[in-house]
A and B are shown apart, each in its own frame.
Chain A
Amino acid sequence: MRKEILYSIILFFPLLIVQTTIVPLIAINGAVPDLIIILLVTFALRNGQMYGTVLGFVYGFLFDVITGSFFGSTMLSKTLEGFIAGYFYNENRLDHNFKSYIFPFIVLLCASVDAVMYTFLTQIDFRSSLLLLLFEQGMLPGMYTSVLSFVVVIFYKRRSSF
């Protein structure tokens, strides 16, 4: 368990560097995938709901402090996201979760909830179309993140085939 905690913190920083330097280059129509979500869902599915919730909070805190975003907003959204991802934790179905379409689906769900939550927290002006806003800021980046999360599925499948 201690190893797992160490990994989850150590992996966060290089991924945040990639997220803030390289990922903006592959944005499609303003939709930027969130690699931190993939990492959080991975650890939440491996270690359970409590772990996911606390890890989400820690990731959110670090993200807010480091990137200068609205302090507390990412903390809240990532905490919820870790909680939701942890809900799908099942010790007997760990492999199944990672090797099937379930993983990208959970990522999509979490990313959408995260983006919607973040939008609600930081968005004061709802005079523009709310549904469109939720689609553009919630679903689109969520779908993009979900597509990228297939990398984890492929990685797990390959690893187990050796």
Chain B
Amino acid sequence: MRRIFLIFWESFKEYIVLVVLIVVSLTALSFNQNKAVKNVRAAAFGTFALVTSVVSDFINVAKIKNENEHLAEMNAELMLQINQLRQYGIENRELKSLINLKDSTDYPLIPATIVSKSLTGAQNSLTLNVGTNAGVRPGMPVITDKGLTGIVFSVSDDYSIIRTLKNQNLKLTVKNERSRINAVMKWNGEYLVMINVPKTYDVQPGDRIITSELSSIVPIPIPVGVVVKLNNVERGIFNEVIVKPFVDFIRIEHVFILGIVESRQKNNLELNFYNRK
């Protein structure tokens, strides 16, 4: 029996090993939400990010001069915009007080630097140099000056992994800024698409898309992207709306984590991204 097994092993060992390892890999796919696996990954990427942060800091230093010039220019533009917005803010506050609406609170911003990027077709993720010690929690939105970048997925003491908009596991409720139409947006591996938008709804190329207040992850309006195309699906009553994100995921280096304290009540009512199994 042993001899037969040895002959069999000698003849097919490469295939046996391949099959065993494929089975192990496929089994691993089902352990993504396992708490122990999550803990191990948090520890592993935390250690690795410590090293990559040194490298990315070195790379960033070379870019700082150009960035400073760009920021100075942007600063001037923003100063003009702020003046205008300040006026709107005053008017807004007065109007809200007239109709007795609850005002939105201030959200703390946690600055972070991207220390590594994992850019694959369907599962883009970024590693940031801030973690639980800086107050980062899974589920917090990540933004840049351009708009929404992604959501914090996993956190270690000093580092965190975010899933960008270009990640299939992230589905977000967004709305058309002009026509106020809500829809679910997701990454299909090729484009960001707003799915199941009825054909009769008013959506046009050039419309700005922002996060919807219906979202349990990002409850404040943050720019997401711009409508570039309507895929007129021939059958059915729904359309697909293709959205180009404002954020360039290849070029971004610095982000801000929106320290939103999630409403537990709301979380229990809705199944948000982070709780999704």
Contacts and interface: CB of A to CB of B under 8 A. Distances in A.
Interface in B173-189: 186, 188-189
Interface residues of B, number: 49
Contacts of B27: 72
A137 to B, nearest CB: 4
A13 to B, nearest CB: 8
A88 interface: no
B216 interface: no
Q: Which of B18, B55, B154 has the most CB of A within 10 A?
A: B18
A152 interface: no
Nearest to B29: A72
Contacts of A22: 55, 59
B109 interface: no
For chain A, what secondary structure do more than half of its interface residues adopt (helix, strand, loop), or is it mixed? helix
B63 to A, nearest CB: 10
Interface residues of A, number: 49
A133 B18 contact: no
Interface string A9-53: 000010011001110110100101000000000000000011001
A64 B30 CA distance: 13
Interface string B46-67: 0010011001100100000000
A83 B14 contact: yes
Nearest to A50: B14
B115 interface: yes
A30 B28 contact: no
A115 interface: yes
Interface stretch (B119-127, B197-205, B262-270): B119-127
Q: Which of B21, B51, B116, B169 has the most CB of A within 10 A?
A: B21
Nearest to B15: A83
Given A53-B14, A71-B41, A20 B116 contact: yes
B13 to A, nearest CB: 6
Given A54-B21, A127-B188, A67 B168 contact: no
Interface in B203-239: none
B85 interface: no
B78 interface: no
A66 B24 contact: no
Given A21-B115, A76-B26, A119-B189, A68 B154 contact: yes
Contacts of B17: 50, 53-54
B106 interface: no
B228 to A, nearest CB: 14
Contact of B189 (A17, A65, A133): A133
A20 B118 contact: yes
Interface in A75-126: 75-76, 79-80, 83, 86, 115, 118-119, 121-125
Contacts of B169: 70
A79 B21 contact: yes
A73 interface: yes
Q: Which of A57, A68, A75, A119 has the most CB of B within 10 A?
A: A68
B29 A133 contact: no
Interface of B: 13-14, 17-18, 21-22, 24-32, 37, 40-41, 44-45, 48, 51-52, 55-56, 59, 115-123, 125, 127, 153-154, 161, 168-169, 186, 188-191, 240, 250
Given A53-B21, A68-B154, A70-B32, 13 more contacts: A13-B51, A16-B48, A17-B55, A21-B52, A68-B161, A72-B27, A72-B28, A72-B29, A73-B123, A75-B24, A122-B123, A125-B189, A127-B240
27 contacts: A17-B48, A20-B52, A21-B56, A21-B117, A22-B55, A22-B59, A24-B117, A24-B250, A54-B21, A67-B116, A68-B161, A69-B120, A70-B29, A70-B169, A72-B31, A73-B29, A75-B28, A80-B18, A119-B121, A119-B122, A119-B189, A121-B29, A122-B121, A125-B188, A128-B189, A129-B190, A137-B189
What 8 pairs between A and B have smallest CB-CB spacing? A72-B28, A20-B116, A72-B29, A137-B121, A68-B161, A76-B25, A122-B122, A67-B118
